[in-house]
Amino acid sequence: MSYIDGFVIACPKANKDKFIEHAKMGDSVFMELGALRVVECWGDDIHEGHTTDFRMAVKAEEDEEVLFSWIEWPDKATREAAMATMTKWMNDPSKADPRMDPEKNPMPFDGKRLIFGGFTPVLDLKQ
């Protein structure tokens, strides 16, 4: 069964086009490392919660929108191999793919407020 990496980000609304370009460049690396699918979603109907919500989770400001994204991998082993490659790049930036270089492809959002995690699907309904 597939493996999913999920992400929630706050991004300035004014940076929507920059985010799309950043994602196109960076997400192509995930595809080359074995991802089956990468989906980037721009918030459209984010409700305010009483205890918690997406905006609170990433401390989104009034001028920011919440983004929800995921990467679908064929299995956890493929994801782990991809993450090992990316860790090597972080440890030796001279060998990194230039699309992942923050100077060549800067994040148009505050990466400190990005939340992410890996998930094992337990139910997958399809049409």
40-99 residue pLDDT tens: 999 999 999 999 999 999 999 999 999 999 999 999 999 999 999 988 877 777 777 777
For residue 29, what pLDDT is reported? 94
CATH topology of domain 3-119: Alpha-Beta Plaits (3.30.70)
Q: Enter the pTM of the model.
A: 0.89
Gap between the Cα atoms of 37 and 27, Å rounded: 9
- Least confident window among 9-13, 56-60, 107-111: 107-111
Q: For residue 37, give Cα distances in angstroms to 28, 75, 104.
A: 10, 12, 24
Strand pairing class (64-73; 37-42): antiparallel
Q: What is the pLDDT of residue 107?
A: 75
